[in-house]
Amino acid sequence: EESLQMWDLNKRLEAYLARVKFLEEENEVLRAEIQSAKGSPAGDSWRVKYEEELRALRDALDRAFREKCTAELARDNLYEEIQQVKSRCQKEQAAREEAKKLLSLSRKELEEERRAQIWLKERAVQLEKEVETLLEVHEEEKAGLDQEIASFSQSLESFRCASGAFQPVEVEDYSKRLSEIWKGAVETYKTEVSQLEGSLCQAKENLWKAVEDNHQSQLQLQHLEKDLAGLKARKEMLEESLAQQWQEQRGEAEKFQLAMEALEQEQQSLRVQIARVLEDRQQLMHLKMSLSLEVATYRTLLEAESTRLQMPAG
């Protein structure tokens, strides 16, 4: 029975020794791999690679941040430029309103000048008619006076005896005075007509001036409208470019964020793998220690059994 027990123990010991040897070889292989992974640059290639990729992504993130800052500065500059364009548009709108007001005032002045011109024309025609009427009345009165003078001279010829007491020269003086008075009235009407013609010419000049001012105001208004349309088109173009830049930057930021998340996940998986390897190594160390204790126990039993077997022989 003791021999069978010893044989069984020897078999178990051989199995344990073979397992210990296999585990020691596997442990050595793992230790060599871990040492090579720690010491050799080839083992650290994955770490260096991922660190380089992480560094490159960090640099790209820094560049994206700088580009974002640059884009924000450009956006602020564009906002300031848009504000300036808005202020200029407001100024041009105010100038346009002022030009419209001036245009309306010019139109009112033009209408007043036209009315004044029509009134002056009517007044001139009326004065011309009055002058013609006065001339006709003057001619009729002059003809009547001539007839009276002729009849009076004929009556004087019949009464020549009383020629010393009557003075026909006074009647001629009277007619001359009347003619002079009529001439003065005619000259006065002519003067008024000339004044009216002068005022009519002045009104025509004012009318042409108002028309010219109106034309200039219309040209200035058209120029302001063209500038406003150009500024609106430029504003739309700047807004489109700004929106496009924002979309591009948002897409790049999302790409960098996804890449960072992927790298973090890969780093987490590598940490899990390293922890698993360390845990396996710890388990192997515990197994090696337990096997070493069993081997020492069996060795002690074998030595005790060998000494027990050798003592009777001695």
Q: In this predicted model, what pLDDT tens digit does every residue of 68-116 receive, in sequence order?
A: 888 888 888 888 888 888 888 888 888 888 878 888 887 888 888 788 7
CA distances from 257 to 60, 70, 192, 251 (A): 11, 20, 94, 10
Q: What is the rounded distance in angstroms from the CA atom of residue 118 to the CA atom of residue 109?
A: 14
Residues of the chain short of pLDDT 50, as ranges, are 159-169, 313-314
Instruction: Tell me how many helices (H) and strands (E) the chain has.
Output: 3, 0
Q: What does the pLDDT read at residue 155? A: 62
The CA radius of gyration of the chain, in Å to the nearest whole number, is 65
Q: Are residues 120 and 239 in the same domain?
A: yes
Q: What does the pLDDT read at residue 169? A: 46
Q: What is the rounded distance in angstroms from the CA atom of residue 55 to the CA atom of residue 241?
A: 31
CA 279 to centroid of chain Cα atoms: 62
Q: Residue 95 falls within a domain, yes or no?
A: yes
- Strand, helix or coil for residue 68: helix
Q: What does the pLDDT read at residue 174? A: 63
Q: Are residues 14 and 97 in the same domain?
A: no
Q: What does the pLDDT read at residue 166? A: 43
Q: Residue 169 falls within a domain, yes or no?
A: no
Q: What does the pLDDT read at residue 170? A: 56
Q: Are residues 6 and 144 in the same domain?
A: no
Give residue 6's domain range: 1-39
Q: What does the pLDDT read at residue 262? A: 83
Q: What does the pLDDT read at residue 131? A: 74
Q: Residue 159 falls within a domain, yes or no?
A: no
Q: Are residues 92 and 111 in the same domain?
A: yes
Cβ 149 vs Cβ 246: under 8 Å: no
